[in-house]
C-alpha cells in the first residue's frame, strides 16, 4: 500500500530545446559556482542543491529536462529563477525559454486524471464473466486490500503483451487473488508455464478455483514464500520470456537484479506502480518504497541491456525489453 508520508514539497518541471544539452549542464554548474552543491553523473544527468531547494537536470537528445523542488512556493520560485538565470547566461547567445509548469506536489499529481482513466476503462475489451466474478469475490473477501488488484485495463494490457511477445515461460511477483496471473496464464500457449510468487496462502488460495475454471491451473506453478528467496533458489539455467513485478515496492530493485539476467533476448519485463501515485517525482517522499521505485526507474532507463519505456497506465507501468 502507498504511504504518503512527509511534508508536501512543491515541485515544477520544464523542458527546453537546446543544442548540446549535456554540455549546457556542465556549463550551468560552472556558472552557478559556489551558489550550489552539484552532483554530476557519468550519463550527463546532474542534481543541484541550492539554499532554496533542488533541481534535477536530465539532458536528452536536444532537450534538457528540469525538475525543481523546494520546501515552499517562495523557495521554489528561488530555485527556478536561479536555474533560469544561469542557464540563459551559460548558453552564450542562444535564446533559452523555460516554461515551468505550475507548482504541484507529489501527492497531488495524477499521471492520468480520473475522468480519462474511467474513459479508458470503458473503452477496452470488457472483462469476461470469470474475471468479473474474480474481481467481485476479491472486493467482498479482502475489502480495502482489493485496491491492490490490477485494474481491468491493466489485465487486458498484460494479456496482450504476453500474446504479442509469444512468451512460453513467465514469472509473476505478486499474485494476490490471481487476477493478473489469470490474464498472463491464459495468454500462454498450452505448454506455457507461469511461475507465480507470493507470500500469502490466504490470498492466493482464493485464486485457485478461478484458475481451475479458466483451465489454466496446470500452467501455473504457485510458489509461496518471499519472492527473492524463490528467485535465488531457481536453477541457474532457468530463463523467462515474460516477467511481471507487482509486489512489495521496496523489493523491486532486487527483483530486477535477479530477473533481468534470466530474461531471454527479446524477453519482456513489466513493472506496475512505477509512479507510486506521483510521489516518485517529489523529493519530500523519502520512504523505502519511494526510494526503491526511484532507484529502479533510474536504473532501467540507463540499463544498456534493455529498451525501456514508462506508460501512464493507471499508476504507471514500465515495459523493458531485453536487447
Chosen residue from 6, 209, 226, 312 binding ligand SAM by CB under 6 A: 226
- Cα 246 from Cα 230, distance rounded (Å): 15
- When asked if residue 306 is in the footprint of ligand SAM (CB under 6 A), the reply is no
Grid cell of 184 as nine digits: 498472463
- When asked if residue 248 is in the footprint of ligand SAM (CB under 6 A), the reply is yes
| Least Cβ distance, residue 40 to ligand SAM (angstroms) | 35
3-state secondary structure of 306: strand
- Cα 302 from Cα 94, distance rounded (Å): 29
- Cα 181 from Cα 226, distance rounded (Å): 17
Which of 85/232 has CB closer to ligand SAM?
Answer: 232
Chosen residue from 87, 150, 281, 317 binding ligand SAM by CB under 6 A: 150
Q: Which of 131, 225, 115 lies closest to 185 in space, CA to CA?
A: 131
Work out the angle at residue 75's Cα, subtended by the Cα atoms of residues 72 and 80, and round it to the nearest 5 degrees: 120
Which of 103/174 has CB closer to ligand SAM?
Answer: 174
Q: Which of 259, 164, 179 lies closest to 220 in space, CA to CA?
A: 179
Which residues between 156 and 185 bind ligand SAM (CB under 6 A)?
Answer: 173-177, 179-180
Q: Which stretch binds ligand SAM (CB under 6 A): 80-88, 194-202, 256-264, 303-311?
A: 194-202
Q: Which stretch binds ligand SAM (CB under 6 A): 100-108, 113-121, 193-201, 280-288?
A: 193-201
Q: Which stretch binds ligand SAM (CB under 6 A): 97-105, 115-123, 195-203, 233-241?
A: 195-203
Q: Which stretch binds ligand SAM (CB under 6 A): 73-81, 85-93, 143-151, 279-287?
A: 143-151
Which of 45/314 has CB closer to ligand SAM?
Answer: 314
- When asked if residue 149 is in the footprint of ligand SAM (CB under 6 A), the reply is yes
CB 287 within 8 A of CB 3: yes
CB 114 within 8 A of CB 158: no
CB 133 within 8 A of CB 245: no
Q: Which of 188, 194, 190 lies closest to 207 in space, CA to CA?
A: 194
| Residues in touch with ligand SAM (CB under 6 A) | 148-150, 173-177, 179-180, 197-200, 203, 226-227, 246-248, 251
Amino acid at each position: 500500500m502507498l504511504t504518503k508520508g512527509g511534508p508536501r514539497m512543491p515541485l515544477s518541471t520544464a523542458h527546453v530545446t537546446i543544442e548540446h544539452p549535456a554540455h549546457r549542464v556542465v556549463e550551468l554548474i560552472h556558472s552557478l559556482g559556489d551558489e550550489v552543491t552539484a552532483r554530476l553523473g557519468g550519463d550527463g544527468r546532474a542534481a543541484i542543491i541550492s539554499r532554496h531547494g533542488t533541481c534535477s537536470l536530465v539532458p536528452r537528445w536536444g532537450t534538457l529536462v528540469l525538475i525543481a523542488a523546494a520546501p515552499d512556493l517562495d523557495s521554489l520560485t528561488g530555485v527556478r529563477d536561479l536555474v533560469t538565470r544561469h542557464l540563459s547566461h551559460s548558453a552564450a547567445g542562444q535564446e533559452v525559454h523555460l516554461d515551468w509548469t505550475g507548482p504541484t506536489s507529489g501527492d497531488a499529481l495524477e499521471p492520468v486524471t480520473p475522468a480519462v482513466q474511467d474513459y479508458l476503462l470503458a473503452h477496452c475489451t470488457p472483462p469476461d464473466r470469470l474475471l468479473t466474478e474474480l474481481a467481485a469475490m476479491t472486493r467482498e473477501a479482502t475489502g480495502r486490500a482489493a485496491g491492490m488488484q490490477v485494474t481491468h485495463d491493466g489485465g487486458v494490457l498484460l494479456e496482450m503483451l504476453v500474446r504479442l511477445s509469444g512468451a512460453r515461460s513467465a514469472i509473476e511477483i505478486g499474485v494476490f487473488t490471481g487476477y493478473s496471473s489469470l490474464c498472463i496464464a491464459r495468454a500462454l500457449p498450452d505448454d506455457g508455464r507461469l511461475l507465480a510468487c507470493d507470500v500469502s496462502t490466504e490470498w492466493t488460495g482464493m485464486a485457485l478455483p478461478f484458475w481451475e475454471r479458466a483451465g489454466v491451473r496446470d500452467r501455473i506453478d504457485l510458489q509461496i514464500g518471499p519472492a527473492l528467496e524463490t528467485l535465488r533458489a531457481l536453477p541457474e539455467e532457468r530463463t523467462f520470456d515474460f516477467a511481471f513485478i507487482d509486489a512489495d515496492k521496496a523489493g523491486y530493485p532486487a527483483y530486477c537484479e535477479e530477473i533481468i539476467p534470466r530474461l531471454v533476448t527479446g524477453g519482456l519485463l513489466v513493472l506496475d506502480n512505477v509512479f507510486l501515485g506521483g510521489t516518485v517525482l517529489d523529493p519530500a517522499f523519502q520512504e523505502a518504497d519511494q526510494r526503491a521505485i526511484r532507484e529502479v526507474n533510474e536504473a532501467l532507463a540507463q540499463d544498456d541491456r534493455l529498451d525501456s519505456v514508462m506508460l501512464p497506465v493507471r499508476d504507471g507501468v514500465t515495459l523493458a525489453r531485453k536487447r
